[in-house]
Amino acid sequence: MKLRHFLLIGLVTFGSLINAQEIKKNSIEVTGVAEMEVEPDEIIFNVGIKGDNKNQLADNEKLLFETLKSNGVKNEDIKFKSMYQNLYSKTAKFTKSFQFKVNAKTNVSKLFEDLNQKWITTLNISEVKNTKIADFRKTVKINALKAAKAKADYLLESIGKKAGTPLEIVEIEDYMSDTVVPMAYKSARLSNVQLETADAGIDFSFDNIENIKLKYSIKTKYEIL
């Protein structure tokens, strides 16, 4: 029984020594950063319509769907959001809001012109997206990890050392890079504003939209050899 206890104590002590040696390994900690700009290929709009009564509202809803369809928007890309009845309003007693999606093939300027109607209450941008954004995020994160390794290599090379086994890899949270923010047009007067209706002479095309900016940081720790 005593021999068994001694063996167990010996194993625990040996294991502790190994852990201690691992902790005492010389290491270098670096952070790699990578960025990428991605062109948007999808815009999601919010649109509101009005009517003095339910029948007029239904007619205007039909006109909305016809207008969107004529501009290449599919029915499955139009979603109902809300409906509201204001008993105290002298105008627009009934309102309804929808969300619809367009792609890079859509002539947004023409769409805005067609939606410049009295029964349209609001027209604004909800989101800007790229349909392959998940793949681009992976690429940026990989590039950030590669940048961290390259940094460790050239720093250690300057003192005659080199990076060994990676001991730790941590992705640093960057909330902005994971969020596709509402669209900002390149024109300063259009950035971060609500677009009520089409303004003549303004380019609302995809070419006039700011790119989506991705940025990720990876913190790493390498053994020094």
Q: Tell me how far apart the alpha carbons of residues 178 and 137 are, in angstroms, rounded to a whole number.
A: 8
Say which range, 21-35, 68-82, 130-144, 154-168, has the weakest mean pLDDT.
21-35
Selected residue with higher pLDDT from 11 and 75: 75
pLDDT tens digits, one per residue of 136-176: 999 999 999 999 999 999 999 999 999 999 999 999 877 56
Report the run of H or E that residue 111 belongs to, with start and end.
helix 108-114
Q: So what's the pLDDT on residue 225?
A: 95
Q: Which residue spans within 6-109 are E strands per DSSP?
A: 27-38, 42-51, 78-85, 94-103
Q: Return the sign of the alpha-carbon dihedral for residues 117, 95, 75, 124.
A: positive
Same fold, 25-40+131-225 and 42-129: no
Query: What amino acid is encoded at 188 in this protein?
Result: A
Q: What is the mean pLDDT of the chain?
A: 82
First-last CA distance in the chain: 44
CB 222 within 8 A of CB 31: no
Specify the CATH architecture of the domain 42-129.
2-Layer Sandwich (3.30)
Topology of domain 25-40+131-225, CATH = Translation Initiation Factor IF3 (3.30.110)
- Who contacts 165 (Cβ-Cβ below 8 Å, separation ≥6)? 222, 223
CA distances from 99 to 47, 65, 191, 208 (A): 6, 11, 21, 22
Pick from 28-32, 41-45, 209-213 the range whose average pLDDT is largest.
28-32
For the chain, give every domain's residue range: 25-40+131-225, 42-129
Selected residue with higher pLDDT from 190 and 125: 125
The confidence band for 130, taking pLDDT boundaries of 50, 70 and 90, is very high
Q: Tell me how far apart the alpha carbons of residues 102 and 144 are, in angstroms, rounded to a whole number.
A: 32
